[in-house]
Amino acid sequence: MERVDAVIVGSGQGGVPLAADLAAAGKQVVLFERRSLGGSCINYGCTPSKAFLAAAHAAGRARQAAALGIHAEVRVDFAQVMERVRSIRDRFNQGVEQRLVKAGVRVVRAEGRFSDGQTITGGGVSVQAPLIVLNTGTSPQLPEIPGLREVPVLTNLNFFDQKNLPEHTIVLGGGYIGLELGQGLARLGSKVHLVHRHAHLLNSEAQQVSDVLAEAFHRDNIDLHLGVRVDQLHYEQGIYTLHLSDGSTLTGEALLVATGRRPNTDALDAPAAGVELDEQGYVKIDEQFRTTAPGVYAIGDVAGQPAFTHVSWEDYRRLTAILKGEDRRRDDRVLGYAVYTEPQVGRVGFTGEQAKKQGFKTRAVTLPMTYIARAIEWGHDLGFYQLVVDSETDRILGATLVGYEAAELVHVLLAHMQAGSSWQLLEQSVHIHPTYGEALPSLARLLT
């Protein structure tokens, strides 16, 4: 039995910097990783998907430039697109390994599991430590469709290993993974059918967001099948046949399943350490990431935190401060996120409905993209900006931006909210003309 200062299980975007910092401070640190270093973000999520979308959206914009009088012939080399995606992924992955080696972290390439409350075992190695941090993330959740588990399907785990573009693709799921990858395939030349059991896309967002995305997908020749389920699935000679609850039938050479996530806790043997899980299998934590076992913490989406890289990274910063005795909590920063469809969805804080459920008295205003000079001039007039404020204090409570590069623009609202700004401060700001950002003071001005 080896004894060290800390054990990290999982090399996601919280676990890696935490391990590196602890090792750089002179601690003996062991990190267990059963797959590729860097977690979902680098290997199966942010990095490859955004490299993939860089090509897809370039193709889509070229085709849509016809509205500006520019008629382009687009030829997609899918094999080259995917080779570039994998090369970027591999380079980032190697960077993670180099960082850990340089910091002096011992990496065990094996699945780590609890032997007891202070011991992790895997790959023939057993390590005991007073500090154990779980950062094991999540994996694709396959829906309960008869026969689905017996056929080869695409998920975000293997999507980026493709070398040939499917002529027809069926996408199950209308969340951000299904929307991003589905639109990307369509823009690269695959005929895409998207099936979603809810009545609108991104069903956790407002209906207005779904309506804009549905129109965008229509322009990309994507067929939407909303509010339906898959009753039967057949797979023969490389062809998938899906029978839907509305009586329709779909066929395709590829089936992408993006219907949800499940926590990577099955292999941990959490009961052996006294680490409690909730009914969905997520690690239970308190406001400072403590599990129900002394000395064991959990960060990132395995602990039910919002499933975003920037959240996991901030969890690392939070936990680092907590271990030093500082007062940080799991939700002590304004949360923003984005969906990288085109148009993009940029979100921060509450929607109007969410704010009301939290007991706020609210005011909300909306500005269509068709009212924004830059959007009209550049032909990006699909979408809207919406602002929600507290009617009693005038503080900004949230914003939803749907439009070109909304993921960049939403940071303006995030910074205002983190600073506790009122909508009047935003309204008084002089933004540059003509820009998309110029519309934010105009949006706030609707409250006057």
The answer as to whether 328 is a domain residue is no
My answer on whether 188 and 294 are in the same domain is: no
pTM: 0.96
Q: Is 260 annotated as a binding residue?
A: yes
Q: How many domains does the chain have?
A: 3
Q: 119 and 266 share a domain?
A: yes
Which ranges of 11-132 does DSSP label H, i.e. alpha helix?
Answer: 15-24, 39-43, 46-64, 78-103
Q: Which residues are known catalytic residues? A: 433
CATH (domain of 161): 3.50.50.60
Q: What is the pLDDT of residue 249?
A: 97
Query: Do 128 and 267 fall within a single domain?
Result: yes
Given a contact cutoff of 8 angstroms between Cβ atoms, the answer to whether 366 and 238 are in contact is no
Last residue of a domain, one of 302, 323, 344: 323
Residue 308 lies in a domain: yes
**175 assigned ligand-binding residue:** yes
Instruction: Decide if 330 is inside a domain.
Output: no
Q: What is the mean pLDDT of the chain?
A: 97
Burial class (CB in 10 A: 0-12, 13-18, 19+), 78: middle
| Domain match, 340 and 311 both | no
| Residue-number span of the structural domain to which 132 is assigned | 2-139+262-323
Residues 297, 156 within the same domain: no
340 is in an annotated binding site: no
Q: Can you give the pLDDT at residue 147?
A: 87
Residues 255 and 267 grouped into a single domain? no
* Residue 174, annotated as binding a ligand: yes
* 72-to-62, 63, 331, 378 alpha-carbon distances in Å: 6, 6, 47, 17
173 is in an annotated binding site: yes
CA distances from 195 to 124, 178, 242 (A): 44, 9, 10
Task: Evaluate if residue 379 carries a pLDDT over 90.
Answer: yes
- Assigned domain for 162 exists: yes
Same domain (yes/no): 270, 126: yes
The pLDDT of 154-171, averaged and rounded, is: 97
Q: Verify that 253 and 267 share a domain, yes or no.
A: no
Q: Which CATH number fits the domain that encloses residue 367?
A: 3.30.390.30
pLDDT beyond 90 at 407: yes
Final residue before a domain boundary, out of 323, 347, 362: 323
Angle at 358 between CA 354 and CA 364, to 5 degrees: 50
DSSP reduced 3-state for 45 = coil
Instruction: Establish whether 403 is an annotated binding residue.
Output: no
Using one digit for the tens of pLDDT, what is the confidence trace for 298-325? 999 999 999 999 999 999 999 999 999 9
